[in-house]
Amino acid sequence: MKIKHLPWILAATTVILFASGYTLMTPTGAPAAKTGSPGDGSNCTECHGGTATTTAGQITSNIPASGYVPGTTYQITATNPLTGSGKMGFEVSPQNVAGTQLGTLVAGSGSKLVGGTKYVTHSNANTTTNTWTFSWIAPVAGTGQVTFYGAFARNKPGPVTKSTLVVEEAASAPGAAGAITGPATVCKNNTESYSIAAVSGATGYVWTVPAGVTIQSGQGTTSVSVLFGTSAVSGNISVYGTNAAGNGAASNKMLTVNTVPATPAIPDGPSLVNVQNTPNSNYSTTTTADSFIWELSPANAGSISGTSATAAVTWSNSYIGNAEVRVKGVNPCGEGAWSLVKFTQVINTTGVDEFTSGIKVITGGANNQTAIEMNTEVREAKLMILDITGRVMLNTTIPGTGTYKINQQLKSGVYIVTVKAGSSVLNQKIFIN
């Protein structure tokens, strides 16, 4: 009888042993990829049976509400709250929705790693231990959101639950701003552009400019358009990146604000020139400019040359009368205003006492009366009387024909009379007693 019923006994024993062994299949840790995450696609029900329910709060941590700091080690706690009898276990993994491991797990007391460092599970399931604490090293900056997926089971058959913990990456202040590109020397009333490369982690940018300078557009971005007004002063243009965590280090660029040169001082030079003795004269001014523009008028008085603060005049030996010299400064911002005019009296005593036909000087009489007899073909002539020092005593026009009496009261002394009538010129000394 015993031999006859042996197959049944062996079969029953096999079923009992198999069932008993299945209950204890994973007392030293669950196999990898059983967290129930989207990437794993499976959970503890494959071994423990039933349908997994979702329960909040079974995975906790000491990660602050502000988020994890990349590279920092945190403590993660998995708690199995399932009631009933039998041994308890778990499996947790930090992943993204694609199933990629985020950060590195380090096993703690009563736990071990499977699947490399991607999964942590119990190392010795029992009926009393339902809480496991292990470490997690946060991933590199820029990883962003991390989800801890976990599956929890008790006995076979027994209840199975799933739970998640979602943590965010802590925001950090942006990096330092790079060099600012744009002109360092600018002119008032001009608009210029300045920019920097994008700053790591920045969600916005803050630009500042010197007094009298206006940011017309681009504030908050990597490039701005800047107007230098009439009151603009030299100083730094500055920019830094910003985000919710704070501000990055600023970058500065020194700007030198220029304007057109100031009005030069009235030229310094001779007020009286006798071409006979001084065919050339120098004039100078004082102001700051890159170069200067000089002007001599009238044009037939001679020529002026030079682009520095000093210019040279070459007088025309045929000109007699007043001449005007003025100057203005020039720089990259433009031309400044003209200076006040320097007046110069130009005379020419060359050929004094050389007579010309048609013009005669008559002096004498009781009152030292001087008269000019004109017999020329011009309508008007120019008459000038100078004392011996060159000081102009009379400068007027007279008719080209007839006698012109000089009513100027001249003291005793020597004078030079110059009459110019067309191409006829008379230079003559006269003596007044």
Answer whether residue 9 shows pLDDT above 50: no
Q: Residue 13: CB partners within 8 Å, gap ≥ 6?
A: none
> Mean pLDDT across the stretch 319-330?
92
> Per residue in 204-237, pLDDT tens?
999 999 999 999 999 999 999 999 999 999 999 9
The answer to whether residue 18 scores a pLDDT higher than 70 is: no
> Are 69 and 138 within 8 A, CB to CB?
yes
Separation of alpha carbons 73 and 275, rounded Å:
96
List domains and CATH numbers for the chain: 26-167 (2.60.40.4060), 185-255 (2.60.40), 272-347 (2.60.40), 359-432 (2.60.40.3080)
The H helix count followed by the E strand count for the chain is 2, 31
**184-188: average pLDDT:** 95
Query: What tokens were used for 175?
Result: 């990096």
Higher-scoring residue by pLDDT: 256, 357: 256
Question: Of the given ranges (16-30, 238-252, 292-306, 381-395), which has the lowest mean pLDDT?
Answer: 16-30
Cα-based distances in Å from 320 to 199, 382, 396, 429 = 72, 9, 12, 17
